[in-house]
Every structure is written in structure tokens, then in C-alpha cells.
Amino acid sequence: MKLNKLPKHSILVIAIVTTWIKTYITYQTSFDMKIENTMQQLILLINPLAFLLFIYGISLFFKTAKVRNRYMITVSAILSIVLYGNVAFYRFFNDFITLPVLFQTSNFGDLGNSAASSIYWYDIFYFTDVVLLILAVKFLPVAKEAAIIKPNMRRTYFVLSFAMLFLNLGLAETERPQLLTRSFDRELLVKNIGTYNYHLYDIFIQSKSHAQRALADGSELTDVTNYVKSNQGENNKKTFGIAKKRNVIIISLESTQNFVINNKVNGQEITPFLNSLTKDKDTFYFDNFYHQTGLGKTSDAEFIVENSLYGTGRGAVFFTNSGNTFNSMSERLNDNGYYTSVLHANNKSFWNRDMMYQALNIKHFYDVESYDVTDENSANWGLKDIPYMDQSVKIMKTLPQPFYTRLITLSNHYPFTSDPEDQLIKPYTSDDNTVNRYFQTVRYTDEAIKELFKDLKESGLYDNSVIVMYGDHYGISENHNKAMAQYLGKDSITPFDSAQLQKVPFFIHVPHSGIGKEMHEIAGQMDIRPTVLHLLGIDTKNDLQMGTDLFSKDHKDFITFRDGRFVTDKLVYAGEVCYDKSTGEKTDSSKCDPYIDQANKKLDYSDKIINGDLLRFYNNKTGEAK
């Protein structure tokens, strides 16, 4: 066929086909989508089509070739930016962008190393279709002709594009029932309805949650309050109040997973100091403790510690709901004569902390401005953990007592780079440098914790304090399963293993108490708030929280992840499969069924509180609606 004889809608066809092919190649190369059968493969192939037919099809309404061409190039450019944005985001977060994350542009500026290491020259590939379309418009004679179409033909075209959408949704529904009602699993959504439709869906859900707040009223509280009350346990008389009026120092251990504890690399201990605490008589160490964060990562963990509620399923609650009313741990402590603060050597706007801390009633945020940060004392994300601890203790000495402060470490952050003099052990040896380096930065943070204890003792603050430490979230994502399998001596990492890898260390160190021991209950970050407040002798029976005191005899061995996975003493539910916890083998799914309901209920109630901003109607002094 000669170039000047091309059919009149060739530009439309070129636009659709090139974007389609590029999107499909991107799915296959840039996202880790688990495709299990031919049907899933087919859905993945067709899922961009309905949207592309529709969006490019709008050009059929334009009368002149010039306007039509401009429209198509603009659409192609916007779609490429959206897709590429997802690719860059996925490299870092192993997840797809949601609308609230787009408002976190200030974060992206700060991502420094991580963002830079997520962009490559060959990323130009993601714009191939735009380039081809521009070339087609410039050089093909057909691009100069207006492609007039009869209204009934146009109607047929759009009917076809909708038919395509329904075919896609139909196939997706047979493959994954209730897909669109289960909003927390973004990978499934993208896999089944495609990135572009996923974003439309996301916009819809976000607007819905805005509407939810607007529509919510106090009446929804009754349900939530009843649920929370029925799940509360008796306080433990032995531990309640043992740390009354002591300072509380809570340390968020960046990306620290529990598998490093009491473990070795190249024959060397990874966390010698933390290991010594696991056997210490003043320390409770929980070895079945899981993080419960979502996309908000460190900030989600902070949110959970403060509120014992889940972050939102999409985006970071620090962004989406910083306008809400909360009954935070800080607020309770302010009311009990504590001075509340956070010490973290990063920009105050990162994760929207400056805004959210106000909503959480934290009295002072000592951000990067309060620290002396130089080229020599920083690496990776900023101030190194050892100088950070030294400087933090100096600040703590100036705080009115009793104080409650949260320290957030940084050195063990992806991409886990460090200076040679801070590498206290050799890297691991595998094909995966991220994993190899991880052990070294964990080792360094362990040294920083040792330093903190030493500094606290020297400052005199130690004796009258409680030191609580938790891993904030995973550090090694599923993108590194191969090296992790190698390290753990397994053939592969199953969904069961992945769930078990979400264990993070949790320590409560009560100097001179002599009652510490290893604790094995199934626990999670939700439990930190009630557990700590009760140790301080502050009751929480009127608080709308999802966790329970880990020392209560009524604490249940059952925790739910943000994405609906759960763990009990006998079962692990992950990847929609029920596993026997002791063997890691698949087991009868009916065993998990009752817990699936309970897990969803927990997430639902927590989401209700956040989305409806229900705490604005609640008086936690009386336990009644306002």
C-alpha cells in the first residue's frame, strides 16, 4: 500500500495500536504481575483497549485534521506520562500510583537517591508511541485530511468500545469475582482492568471517600463503638502502670524486618545489640509481631502507633486525612502531663508530617532544622543514625519531663547505601546488590541504637524512661525474592513466606523492671498504643482503637494486614490462599473463612472512622457521642 493511499482513519489506528502495544510491553517488563493462566494473559492483553478506543475515538468529533491531530498527540503524551509515572513509582514502592499520592509531589522532590536510581536513559521507550504519532502526523499525507465520519458509524464505533469494556469486565469478573468491590488490591485491579481504567476507578473511589466524610454523621458511631468495646480486653494488673510517669522514647526502626534478629550474614551477627536485648531481663521482645502499614510506609506506622487505626487503603493517610479529628496517643499524654514531640532529621513537609502532627496534637516537631547536618555526617537519605542519636539525646535533655518522643531512623532506607567506614560487616553475596547492602545498613542502625542507650545512660535520662522500638515496615520488597530465597535457604518465596517476612521487631525496654522476657503472641503495630499507655497507667477503655494490650489475657492471636492478609496462631492467609502456619503448606480454605470476615470487618470499621472522620463526633473522655 502506498503511503498516500492509506485509509482515512489511519492516524486514529496508529495512535491506538502504538499506545496499546507500548502499554502491554510495559506491563510485561516494568510491573511484576503474577500471571497464572492463559485467561489472565488474555485479559492483560486486551485491558488497555476499551479505554484507548474511547479516549482516542473522541477525535472522531473533530472536523479539522489539525485539531484532531493535536488532540491525539496530547492524549498520547498525557497517557505516556501517566504510565511512566507508574513505572517510576513502582520501581520504588512496588505499587501503583493512587490519586492522593499525586499530591505528594513535595515528597518526590525529597526522594533524592531513590528517585534518581529509579530513572534510566532507556526510559525514553515509554514515549515511543508519542514520537511515532508525531512522525506520522508530520510525514503521512493522510494526516492532512479531515476524516469525516457519519454519525451512525461513529455511534457504532462507541458501542463497540463499550462492548470491549464489558467484555473486559466480564472476563475479569469470572477470573476475580468482586474485583471492583475489593478496592485494596491495586495489582489485581491493574492486571484486570488496565492502568488507565484503574486510574478512573481510583478517581471515583477518592471522590466517594470525600463524599463519605461529607455525608457521615454521628449515628455511624454506635456500630463502631460497639465493635471496639466488644474487642477490648481486661487490663493486666501486674503490668498496668509499671512505668508510670516515666519518659517514653519510641524508636521507629527504618525498614527493619524481624528476620535479621538473632541471625547472621557471613558468620557475623547482623544486630548484636538488639540480639542482646532479646535476652535482657528488662526487655520484652516480641518475635511474632507484624507491621500493618500500607502505601504510607513510615508515616502509616506512625499513624498506627498514635491512633491504633489503619491508614487508608489508598495513598498515605498523612496526606488524605490530615484534616481529621484524632484521639492520638500524644493527645492522651498531653492530658496526662507529658511533653510530646517527634525528633526526625528530615524536611518537615515530608509525608506531610508538619500538617499531620498538628492534627495528632504533637507539641513540637524537631525536624532537620534542629540538627547539625554536614557532608561528613550524612549519607543516603541524610543525617546518619549515630550522629542523629547523639544529637537527639542532646535535644531530649532540654525537654520538660516526663516527655514522650518518637525517634525515626533513616540510615537503613532503600537503596541501603553507606560510607565504607560505617560498614561494620561485609555485604551479603548474591546477584542482588540491594539485598547485599541491606545487611550492612541494618548493622549500622543496630550500632546507633547501642549508642543511644549509652548516651541516655550518660545523660541520666535512661533510669526514668521506657524505650520502645518497632520496625516500621519491610525493607526488602517482593522484587528481591530471589536473593531472599537464597539467604533464607529456600527454593522460592511463597505468599506464605512473604507474609511471614512482614514480621518486624518489637521491643519494650523498661530499665530496672526485671520482668522482661520473650513474648510469642501474634501481635501487630495496632497493639502498641494500648500496650504502652497501659504500662504508663493510662486507661484506654474509651478509645476507639483496633489493637489490644499485649499483656492482657484477652489479647487474641489474630492480626490483619492493611491489604487483608492475616495471621493467627494456626493459620496464615495470603495471596487468597489459606496456609497452615506451622508447616507453610496450603490447607483447607474453610479454616480461614471465618477469619476473612473478621479481618474485613476490622478494616471496614477502621476505614469508617477515617473516611467519615467519625472521631469529630466522639468524646473519648466519656466514651459517648458528642
Residues annotated as catalytic are: 298
Question: Considering beta carbons, is residue 317 or 408 the nearer one to ligand GP9?
Answer: 408
Q: How far apart (Å, rounded) are the C-alpha atoms in residues 78 and 328?
A: 41
Tell me how far, at minimum, the Cβ of 350 lies from ligand GP9, in Å: 4
Contacts 24+ apart (CB under 8 A), 72-78: 72/11, 72/12, 72/15, 72/133, 72/137, 73/130, 73/133, 73/134, 73/137, 75/15, 76/15, 76/18, 76/19, 76/129, 76/130, 76/133, 77/127, 77/130
Residue from 297, 384, 509, 534 binding ligand GP9 (CB under 6 A):
297
Q: How far apart (Å, rounded) are the C-alpha atoms in residues 618 and 542?
A: 10
Residue from 30, 258, 346, 568 binding ligand GP9 (CB under 6 A):
346
Question: Quick check: helix, strand or coil at residue 340?
Answer: strand
509 binds ligand GP9 (CB under 6 A): no
Q: Which stretch binds ligand GP9 (CB under 6 A): 180-188, 408-416, 431-439, 544-552?
A: 408-416
User: Which does residue 595 bind out of Mn ion, ligand GP9, none, counting CB within 5 to 8 angstroms by kind?
Assistant: none
User: Which does residue 350 bind out of Mn ion, ligand GP9, none, counting CB within 5 to 8 angstroms by kind?
Assistant: ligand GP9
Radius of gyration of the chain (CA): 27
- Specify whether the CB–CB gap between 194 and 48 falls below 8 A: yes
Give the residue nearest to ligand GP9 (CB).
297
Tell me how far, at minimum, the Cβ of 415 lies from ligand GP9, in Å: 11
Binding mask 411-450 for ligand GP9 (x = CB under 6 A): --x-------------------------------------
Binding mask 199-238 for ligand GP9 (x = CB under 6 A): ----------------------------------------
Give the residue nearest to Mn ion (CB).
298
- Specify whether the CB–CB gap between 579 and 571 falls below 8 A: yes
Please give the size of the binding site for ligand GP9, defined by CB under 6 A. Answer: 8
Question: Quick check: helix, strand or coil at residue 612?
Answer: coil
- Specify whether the CB–CB gap between 363 and 340 falls below 8 A: yes
298 binds ligand GP9 (CB under 6 A): yes
Which cell numbers hold the place of 322?
A: 490530615
Q: Which stretch binds ligand GP9 (CB under 6 A): 126-134, 277-285, 405-413, 614-622?
A: 405-413
408 binds ligand GP9 (CB under 6 A): yes
104 binds ligand GP9 (CB under 6 A): no
Question: Considering beta carbons, is residue 306 or 472 the nearer one to Mn ion?
Answer: 472
CB neighbourhood size of 82 (10 A): 13
User: Which does residue 195 bind out of Mn ion, ligand GP9, none, counting CB within 5 to 8 angstroms by kind?
Assistant: none
- Specify whether the CB–CB gap between 289 and 505 falls below 8 A: yes
- C-alpha distances in angstroms, 289 versus 24, 284, 507, 525? 39, 12, 10, 8
Q: How far apart (Å, rounded) are the C-alpha atoms in residues 371 and 517?
A: 36
Q: How far apart (Å, rounded) are the C-alpha atoms in residues 156 and 185?
A: 34
Question: Considering beta carbons, is residue 254 or 455 the nearer one to Mn ion?
Answer: 254
Residue from 90, 96, 350, 439 binding ligand GP9 (CB under 6 A):
350
Residues that bind ligand GP9 (CB under 6 A): 254, 297-298, 346, 350, 408, 410, 413
